[in-house]
Structure formats: structure tokens, C-alpha cells
A and B are shown apart, each in its own frame.
Chain A
Amino acid sequence: MNTTLLSRPILPFLALVTAAVVPLQAQTTSASGVAAVVRTLTLSQQLAGATLPTYGGVNTSSLDAASLPGLLSASALNSTTTGMLDVQDVSAQTTSELGSLQILNGLISAQQVLAVASSYANGATAGSDAVGSQLVGLVVAGQSISSMPAPNTRISLPGVGYVVLNEQTVTGNGSTASGITVNMIHVVLQNALTGLKTGEIILGSAKSAVSL
């Protein structure tokens, strides 16, 4: 009797919830951005990092300026993520940016760095891109780089390591899932003798990923 009394109001509710939730279980949306990441043997810092809430919305983080002596100085750091989980259309976008930056006492400098990551899935297709990303006034080891480097352009920094410009990693199957990670400047610090990685500096990092 108790079971009957309890089940009457609950069962329809459970059925409704189950029916509603099942189609959504495979859906995901995720996005995050961080204007600067600095990791060395003695230091680990993320500056102006923002992560999209699980079910979507908007999140942003800003810093007027940042200074890590000998490693990084920059201004106007900002990361913004947006997106939403939905039955028909899932999307996520991230922008991550900073300006007036100097890395490793001026070994690398730029006037503006912007990473844009955008992903969508609509039931028919899924895709991601970094369109809109840009590097303005970039100088690497005294060499000015005026045009946008091709994805995953690697430049050696003798005695320091190397830098990857416009680093892009794409994931997904193009139909139900897609994601992208964009790191506009990724400096890998290496031991000059052994070549072992001793740290990294990432500027303008944006991620977005969705599945439907």
C-alpha cells in the first residue's frame, strides 16, 4: 500500500525525467581559456583563466597587468568562455587575449595576442576552428613576424628551447563531436645540455569542445 501511494506521484515524474535525460546524456560542451600559463621548476601560475560551467553560460576572467620578473610581463589579460548544452545545437566559444607582452626579457615580444576557439555540433555536422586568432607586432629573437604563422610553426631558440606559434590541436569525428585547443605562443624551455624540458610559457590559450 505504501508502495502504491508513493509510486503514483513519483513514477510519472521519473518517467518524464528519464525520457528527458536520456537523449542528453551524450551531449557535452566544454571550454576554457587562460591568457598566460607559466611553469618552471620552481613556479606554476595561470593568469586570467576562465572555464565554462558544465551546462553552459558565460565565464570571464581579467587582469589589468601581470609581471613575473625575467619570464613574462603583459597587460590587459582576459579570457571569456561561452556556450550552452542544448538538444539540437551545442556550441562553445573561447577568446583569450593579452597585450604589450614581453617573454624572457624581450626574447619574444608582441603588441597583441588573441586566441579564438569555436566549436559546434548540430546533429548533421560538428566542427571547430580558430578563425579570428591573431598575433600583432610579434618579434621572435629579433625577427619580426608580420603575417599570421601557419598552424604549429616551430622556431628554435638556441640555449633556451623552442617556441611553437599558432599551435592547434583538433579532436573529434566531424559529425557528432569536435574540439580544438589553440595556443598562440607556446615556449618550451629546455636544459641547454640535456635537452630535457624544464618548463613552458603559454600565451593566449583557448579551448572549446562539444559533442551531441
Chain B
Amino acid sequence: MHRSLQSALLPGALVLLLGAVACNADEQPLGPGAVDPGTVMPGGKPGGGGGEEASDRMTGGGKLGEDRDFATFGFQVRPGQGELEWQQHCLDGVTSTPTCTFGGFSFHGSTITSYTTNPDDPAHCRTWTGSGEVKLRDPALAAQYDGTYTYRVDKACDYGEPGHDTDYMSFTLASYHREARLTGGNIQLHAEQKNGQHTIAMEVITP
């Protein structure tokens, strides 16, 4: 049986809710594009849809977690384009903890397929999906799992400045999932003006 992120990372509380997903994962190796991260949502919420298409932008960067198991990230996103960099650090290597089952890895998301408001809090939070490249640090696992994956930012929220301990990030990549308030950094939602135009300097001054 193939090792799968789905079956390996499911928190105990979600096993029943996501049992069907886990079974599917057992039948499907974690190869490039093998698992749709949209099927694994925090709290077992399926899909996470319901938001409206967003026309603004969001940027952010920082850190989730502390000490020996943490992630750093940076992103910019707007309709149709964006990038996301994610670095998962597991200083004790591959462990049974939910976020280190596959050890440390880097992910570079280079495409955006959807960008919407988050229905839970459309004034502060955005949701988006895209795809990018995964590089696992463990050589044996890398040989088996490195490749192209779709990902989902379930929720990125700007609750003001400074962003640490207030802004929120939730990220799902196959069955890897991490969500928390930021332990460093900031997320900034750049609102669209009422006339429908952005106030980003580059767009304004470029004829």
C-alpha cells in the first residue's frame, strides 16, 4: 500500500469525518496532482466554497508554529495570478506529528486557479487555489513524492497590524494541513477602491 499524506496526517478528531477521503487516498499514491486538497478542509468542512469572486489583492509573509516544528511563508495573490512560497521545517526529521509526517519540505506555488472571499469573514479573509512544485527534504520520500501539486489556502485573514498573534493562515497541500494565527509576520488585504480601480502605485502611474 502506498504511503499517503491523506492517511498519515489526519488528526484524530477528523478521522471519522474524513474517512471516505482517507480510503480514497489509500488507493491513490501521493503523486503529482493525485489528491485534490479541496477535499481536506479544517474542521471537516467539505469544499469550503460559497465565497464570491474577489477583485482585490492580498500579500503576506511570516511564520506559523514555533521551535522545532514550524512553517514560514510568503505570498501575493490577485485574480488570476499570484505566487506562494511555503517552507515546512521539521527539525526532528520525519515524525508522527501531523505536520511532520513527511518531514520538512518546500513548496512554490506559481499559478492561481481561483481567488474568492471567504464566506466566514468576507471583509477580512480570502480563499484561493493553485498549483506548484513540492520538494521534500527527506531523500527517500523526495524520490517518491516530489512533483506538481494543487494547493488551497483555505483562509488567509488580515485582522490588522501588527499581524503576529492576530492574522490567520490556513494552508492545505494534499493531506498536509497547517492553520494558526501567525507567530510572526503580517498579512495585508489591499482593498479595491469603490470606483473599481486598485490603488497600487504601479498600476496608477503606468500609462
Residues of A within 8 A of B (CB): 13, 17, 20-21, 24, 27, 54-58, 60, 62, 76, 78, 80-89, 91, 93-95, 97, 99, 111-112, 114, 116, 118, 120, 122, 125, 127, 129-134, 136-137
Contact = CB atoms under 8 A, between A and B. Distances in A.
Contacts of B161: 89, 91, 120, 122, 125, 127
A132 B137 CA distance: 23
A132 B184 contact: yes
Given A62-B106, A93-B74, A112 B91 contact: yes
Contacts of B75: 58, 82
A76 B142 CA distance: 14
Contacts of A58: 59, 61, 74-76, 83-85
Interface in B15-35: none
A60 B61 CA distance: 11
B199 A88 contact: yes
A58 B199 CA distance: 18
Interface of B: 57, 59-63, 66-68, 70, 72-76, 83-85, 87, 89, 91, 104, 106, 108, 137, 161-164, 182-186, 188, 190-191, 199-202, 204-205, 207
14 contacts: A20-B205, A21-B204, A55-B200, A57-B76, A58-B74, A62-B106, A82-B61, A84-B57, A95-B62, A118-B163, A118-B164, A129-B162, A131-B183, A131-B185
Given A20-B205, A120-B162, A127-B161, A81 B190 contact: no
A123 B10 CA distance: 43
B186 A91 contact: yes
B204 A131 contact: no
B67 A118 contact: no
Contacts of B162: 118, 120, 127, 129, 131
Given A116-B185, A120-B186, A87 B199 contact: yes
A24 B206 CA distance: 13
Nearest to A111: B91
Given A58-B83, A118-B162, A95 B201 contact: no
A158 B202 CA distance: 51
Given A97-B89, A118-B184, 9 more contacts: A17-B204, A55-B201, A56-B59, A58-B76, A78-B87, A84-B190, A85-B200, A89-B161, A112-B91
A95 B185 CA distance: 8
Given A76-B104, A91-B59, A118-B164, A60 B184 contact: no
Nearest to A116: B184
Nearest to B65: A132
A114 to B, nearest CB: 7
Contact of A83 (B59, B67, B201): B59
A120 B200 contact: no
Contacts of B59: 56-58, 82-84, 91
